[in-house]
Chains A and B, each alone.
Chain A
């Protein structure tokens, strides 16, 4: 068995989620190779070579891979991946974009967002917004898999000493191009890796009111998220959405503020270690999953909490 792990990065640094994908690869077993594709991504390849348990790093440094366009990355992964029994990527918007493309090119199924490895062919994954957990077995000779980062504790970023091999595989499909991006700039921890996450819902009323959450978050070193209702209402940008179709988080502490707790939201946060809910509606379903519920007006409770920490 041999596993190819696709590294998630921004051409400058490795995204921590890759450590979780390597952890899943280790559970599958066999040699682990990490593929770093990007432009000017040599430093990322060096970083990947230090990951515990990685035996080889392949670095595909080419203009065509700068923005992770699925058409080009899909072709690359299908070609490089032909030599491996398993191809793993993080279930991020990058991995979800190119991995099914690579799988189809290889004429194999993809197993999406696994949360557990049973054996080399068998995996657990959430279905129906996490309301059921399926154990699935794939008979295809090659498995293309995306990995739910929060379900696997990342391996150590240091300790390995893999070799880095530059590969000269230029795949430019020439059918798509990058126009631009608007990336959220924040000094707060990234939602999927934050130890504490504070999220606001429709009850916040507007975007300005999120300031009280940002203030509390900065005191706790927390990331700030939101429910779909808050994003749909335009209070905050889409990258803050926690839920079935947004980000999946599992911090030590999740504080849900003014969030009713639709099943689609619960799907994104119910694996958190401790959940606190602050909501003035005592009937809100969020209280059914909260370890500590506080029935109160958030505009009084949050500043008070901030003052007492």
Chain B
């Protein structure tokens, strides 16, 4: 079966972002960019399903700037067979991305779509659910285990109270949580091979999709900084401070 893996180019998770002085956003100039960590987990899961013989083809897709080609090449170095870039310089938002992905799903007809549960820039946690709604597919969000068998997929989900397992008809959407797997690193030979794998570029107009943002950002501010505290010398001093100064115990 075919699996579609949508991925996003974001600020590298090790970068501590800074808010721009004019409060229009965060400063992304000369900042290291990378594949969103949850998307890496999605690619890895697809590759493992292919290694198990469940999946025959992995198509990576990204909706974003031209530079997102780098992340698609990474996905192909990790094991995706080919990729599609829907190129746009628009401030893409989950609903627009979900609509673009629906158009790709209509063309590609994958039996499984695996994507990250959220991107670490917008922290929205919406795209997979929206894509599932638009395509009428069931969804297994925040997955920590995925098992495909007999035309269905069983997904164990990380929920607030513990773990929940659901069974979904295929085709289905799965969004990845942290503990689904530990992504591999791309080997040099695979990075070289990925350069020759097909990468199609499309536009939103090709797909007949409107990516105009629905939500506008009025202002971006730095969060309130915590005041620097003190280092206490002993457990006794800590207890004394908590009782008499902070009055929390």
Contact = CB atoms under 8 A, between A and B. Distances in A.
A126 B19 CA distance: 12
Contacts of A287: 229, 231
Contacts of A273: 248
B218 A122 contact: yes
B223 A109 contact: no
Given A179-B165, A232-B179, A292 B236 contact: no
B215 A111 contact: yes
A114 to B, nearest CB: 12
Interface stretch (A31-39, A51-59, A96-104, A206-214): A96-104
A93 B248 contact: no
Give the contact-size bracket for chain B: 35 or more
Interface residues of A, number: 89
Given A70-B141, A92-B160, A274-B248, A103 B219 contact: no
Contacts of A237: 162-163
Nearest to B137: A175
A80 interface: no
A175 B133 CA distance: 12
B129 interface: yes
Interface string A105-145: 10111111100000000100011111111111111100000
A109 B129 contact: no
A133 B220 contact: yes
Given A100-B94, A238-B144, A239-B161, A138 B126 contact: no
Contacts of A139: 214-216
Nearest to B20: A132
Contacts of A135: 217-221
B192 interface: no
A134 B239 contact: no
Interface stretch (A41-49, A81-89, A158-166, A244-252): A244-252
Interface string A162-179: 000000000001011111
Interface of B: 11, 13, 16-17, 19, 26, 93-95, 98, 117-118, 120-134, 136-139, 141-142, 144, 154, 157-169, 177-179, 214-223, 226-232, 234-236, 238-239, 241-242, 246, 248-249
20 contacts: A100-B94, A104-B134, A108-B214, A109-B95, A113-B123, A126-B123, A128-B120, A128-B121, A129-B120, A131-B26, A131-B223, A175-B138, A179-B167, A228-B178, A239-B161, A247-B160, A253-B242, A292-B231, A295-B231, A304-B235
Interface of A: 67, 69-71, 74, 92-94, 96-105, 107-113, 122, 126-140, 173, 175-184, 192, 196, 220, 228, 231-232, 237-239, 244-245, 247, 252-253, 263-264, 270, 273-276, 282, 287-296, 301, 304-305, 308-309
